[in-house]
Structure 1
Amino acid sequence: MLNFDEQRFLRIQSGAIALRARLDEVIGSCLRNGAENIFFLGTGGAAILMQPAAQLLQRMSRFPAFVDLPAELVITGSANLTDKSIVVIPSLSGTTKESVALLEKVKEIDATVLTLVGHENTPLGKGGDHAFVNFAEDDTSCESFYLQSLFIALSIMRHRGEIANYEQIVNELEGLPQLLLEVKRSYEEKAEGFARILAGSDYHIVTGAGNVWPEAFYYGMCILEEMQWIRTRPVHASDFFHGTLELVERGVSVILFKGEDKLRQLADRVQNFAPNYTEKLTVLDTADFTLPGISPEVRGLVSPIVLATVLERISAHLEVMRNHPLTTRRYYKRVAY
């Protein structure tokens, strides 16, 4: 595979899997000590990657789950953020400015902080009550963060008696790193073609629904915009028909991500509409990939993870095709802002 280290990938994703037992232990302790809610408080891309787990809790658990912006919470606070809150702060670098500032505020409140970081010797790696360290880099962090946050959500449901098949689910997830590697291999020949579509337009509408919507948002903002300087319009498939559809005409690229949860039908609606008005609809569907030993329920849970692993292959080809390395920035961490 192009510019890809298979063993490194397996090591990082297996590292995320290995954190499950300790995450479960910490969550169980928090709940026994009277935790009343959970906040997922990342910044930028790391925040987006927490959304499927937060959504799972909001839809399947009565334990209150909140998603908010650290930059705003530092200024406003929240009536729900108390010493009975569990706060999850993800940051690959462990140094994200807004998240570090939030950490200090949360400490004053005396909430219990779980940090998910790629580097231990950092403000967030050292500052949380419970730091979970799994080295990763930009091309491997999505799957790692998705897995860790999913384990947190599943653990809350397990300890509250809201999920009957926890053991089955986590047993299936144990084999996911190798399955994801096989997904990458199976898609490699097609990845260049998808990259060519992305390189062929300077503007894309990127959409999805359910737990893959965050991956659509993430890929548009953090990869195509930040790392490739390609303009995008990420829009949830539910909102596609409340404004964005008016921008669809011949020559406009629509990129649709489809997962396998109950909200797939909202993506179907976009897929049925767009070809009538543009010849540039491109669909990336997790149902097209083989995942031996993964049940339909778990396939639904891991749809954003599968998309992330396929999109990494597309991005690897895109940066070569455009002669624009994914590490190139003009402003991000380069100038004061």
Structure 2
Amino acid sequence: MDVQKTVSQLFADMDGAIGEIYFVACGGSLVDMYVSDYVVKSESKTLVSGLYTANEFVHVPPAKLGCHSVVVLCSHSGSTAETVEAARVAHRAGARTIGLTYNRKADLLEESDYSFIYEWGDEKRVHGNPMALMLDLTVLIIDQAEGWPQLPAFRRGMDIIDDVVGKAEDAVVPRAKAFAERYRDENMFYVLASGASYGHAYGFAICSLMEMQWLDAAPIHSGEFFHGPFEVTDRDTPFILVMGLGRTRELDERALRFLNEYAHKVEVVDAKELGLDVIDDSVSEFFNPILFYSVLSKYRQALSTARNHGLDVRRYMGKVEY
């Protein structure tokens, strides 16, 4: 699993003519891609990026999809039907595909020009998980395409992120337990975040709360909070504010000031408080989601225990035809 070698081979195979990167997956795998899409959009002057849920990509592929496109696809099982079909769509259009999965016998690998079998299970070893791998892949593509001055700072961040996450996980355990005890009987949560972190507000809402706990939940972008959603704020409505480091932190801080005045049930998960600020300011925002995935996993585990609702219990997923 050599990301640099794969990127070099990709550029050689495409004669350096990469114009677009599309990130395609479903559910949690799509959440893992959000930061990579964010990096391309915020950092690259030459590359176009798109983030697609796989079935939409199949039915409405981007018009620019073609021989200058790279399509990154991820499926934990490697057999998500929509994602495998999306890879076929990409191939028919002449694009190059990069597949990521945990399953060495995955169907997705058959449709991938380049592939990665990622690590899974140890939330304190995050540099080898799919989110970190795709982020590493993405910044190396940007750097090879046009140069990226922040690459040395990013590399230093990757060198220490496991240690940062491990310490943050240990620190948050008692807070997560207290959160779960306080909110065990709630049925609805709003989850706020911005910038590179917003994907994990979305992911925590749809995967951790809705899928795994059968609770109503909605992600809200901190920047959009004051353009409609804040009207639901009262002292009885629970909010989870995921505060990242970086250029959009001001959006989260504005939301926090409002919630501190008008809400009563507010849980703040702050990357700065959890030690992410040891990573250089120029790249720390890109590590927010890596930290938040592991930290919020502690919250969902604590909530699962407090509610006596196992994280693997399902009513429909894998149970019925859909």
TM-score by length of 1: 0.88
In the alignment, the residues of structure 2 paired with residue 39 and residue 138 of structure 1 have an alpha-carbon distance, to the nearest angstrom, of 28
3-state SS of the aligned residue for 1:50? helix
In the alignment, the residues of structure 1 paired with residue 185 and residue 228 of structure 2 have an alpha-carbon distance, to the nearest angstrom, of 24
Q: Does 1:89 align with 2:73?
A: yes
In the alignment, the residues of structure 1 paired with residue 16 and residue 153 of structure 2 have an alpha-carbon distance, to the nearest angstrom, of 27
Aligned amino acid, residue 173 of structure 2? E
In the alignment, the residues of structure 1 paired with residue 22 and residue 122 of structure 2 have an alpha-carbon distance, to the nearest angstrom, of 24
RMSD, aligned α-carbons: 2.2
1:290 corresponds in structure 2 to 275
1:4 corresponds in structure 2 to none
Q: Is the 8 A contact 2:11 2:17 kept in 1?
A: no
Q: Does 1:20 align with 2:3?
A: yes
3-state SS of the aligned residue for 2:264? coil
Q: Does 1:315 align with 2:305?
A: no
Match of 2:140 among 132, 136, 155: 155
- Which range moved further: 163-172 or 315-324? 163-172
3-state SS of the aligned residue for 1:124? helix
Return the offset for 1:198: 4.0
Aligned amino acid, residue 203 of structure 1? M
1:241 corresponds in structure 2 to 226
Instruction: Give 1:262-277 correspondences, 5 Å limit.
Output: 262-277=247-262
In the alignment, the residues of structure 2 paired with residue 111 and residue 83 of structure 1 have an alpha-carbon distance, to the nearest angstrom, of 5
3-state SS of the aligned residue for 1:103? helix
Aligned amino acid, residue 193 of structure 1? A
Aligned amino acid, residue 54 of structure 1? D
In the alignment, the residues of structure 2 paired with residue 182 and residue 290 of structure 1 have an alpha-carbon distance, to the nearest angstrom, of 8
Q: Does 1:57 align with 2:40?
A: yes
Please list every run of 5 or more consecutive structure 2 residues that lacks an aligned counterpart in the other structure. Answer: none
2:188 corresponds in structure 1 to 203
Return the offset for 1:269: 1.3
Match of 2:288 among 274, 298, 303: 303
Q: Is the 8 A contact 1:88 1:114 kept in 2?
A: yes
TM-score by length of 2: 0.92
The structure-2 alpha-carbon separation of the partners of 1:252 and 1:138, relative to structure 1 and needing over 3 Å to count, comes to farther
In the alignment, the residues of structure 2 paired with residue 187 and residue 199 of structure 1 have an alpha-carbon distance, to the nearest angstrom, of 17
For residues 109-168 of structure 1, what are the alpha-carbon distances to aligned partners after superposition, in whole Å with 9 as ceiling and x for unaligned?
121000011112011133201111114259789872221121122112211233124134
Return the offset for 1:180: 1.5
Return the offset for 1:69: 2.7
Q: Is the 8 A contact 2:36 2:135 kept in 1?
A: yes
3-state SS of the aligned residue for 1:92? coil
Q: Is the 8 A contact 2:277 2:284 kept in 1?
A: no
- Which range moved further: 293-302 or 224-233? 293-302
Q: Is the 8 A contact 2:126 2:162 kept in 1?
A: no
The structure-2 alpha-carbon separation of the partners of 1:115 and 1:141, relative to structure 1 and needing over 3 Å to count, comes to farther
Q: Is the 8 A contact 2:276 2:288 kept in 1?
A: no
Return the offset for 1:41: 0.9
Q: Is the 8 A contact 1:86 1:114 kept in 2?
A: yes
3-state SS of the aligned residue for 1:149? helix
The structure-2 alpha-carbon separation of the partners of 1:291 and 1:283, relative to structure 1 and needing over 3 Å to count, comes to closer
1:8 corresponds in structure 2 to none
Instruction: Give 1:19-38 correspondences, 5 Å limit.
Output: 19-29=2-12, 32-38=15-21
In the alignment, the residues of structure 2 paired with residue 20 and residue 309 of structure 1 have an alpha-carbon distance, to the nearest angstrom, of 23
Aligned amino acid, residue 75 of structure 1? H
How many pairs were matched up? 320
1:280 corresponds in structure 2 to 265
Determine what percentage of the aligned residue pairs are the same residue. 23
The structure-2 alpha-carbon separation of the partners of 1:213 and 1:198, relative to structure 1 and needing over 3 Å to count, comes to farther
3-state SS of the aligned residue for 1:288? coil
2:83 corresponds in structure 1 to 99
1:39 corresponds in structure 2 to 22
- Which range moved further: 252-261 or 124-133? 124-133
